[in-house]
């Protein structure tokens, strides 16, 4: 619903009559279930005239964690919170839990 509302606002601000597609970047550990997300999108978009024919495209962003001790990055899903290089627990997620609108394809006529 938040994506549809944001797209409605973008359409209104830019005098758009139709949004053909929207590309979202979704982090691998964002907690978003992509199949469910698309099903919800297909349900909600019909309630928004400017989005009626809009196609949702998803791009996955790999989760990456940084180790503060050895200053290396590694795959979060594969190794978890403990650094595979030095065994440290002083780590934090650099990317992989976001959901961002990357691109909107639209027309004004």
Domain holding 43: CATH number?
3.30.2320.80
| Total count of domains within the chain | 1
The number of angstroms, rounded, from the C-alpha of 75 to the middle of its chain's C-alpha atoms is 18
Give residue 86's domain range.
2-107
Place of tokens 């989005």: 51
Instruction: Quote the pLDDT of residue 62.
Output: 97
Distance CA 97, CA 106 (A): 27
Burial class (CB in 10 A: 0-12, 13-18, 19+), 5: exposed
pTM: 0.81
pLDDT digits (tens, 9 = 90+) for 5-35: 999 999 999 999 999 999 999 999 999 998 8
């Amino acid at each position: 619903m938040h994506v549809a509302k944001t797209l409605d606002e973008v359409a209104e601000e830019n005098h758009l009559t139709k949004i053909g597609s929207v590309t979202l970047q979704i982090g691998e550990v964002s907690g978003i279930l992509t199949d469910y997300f698309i099903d919800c999108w297909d349900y909600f978009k019909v309630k928004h005239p400017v989005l009626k024919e809009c196609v949702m495209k998803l791009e996955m962003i790999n989760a990456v964690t940084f180790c503060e001790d050895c200053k290396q990055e590694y795959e979060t899903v594969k190794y978890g919170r403990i650094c595979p290089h030095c065994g440290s627990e002083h780590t934090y997620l650099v990317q992989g839990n976001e959901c961002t609108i990357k691109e909107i394809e639209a027309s004004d006529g």
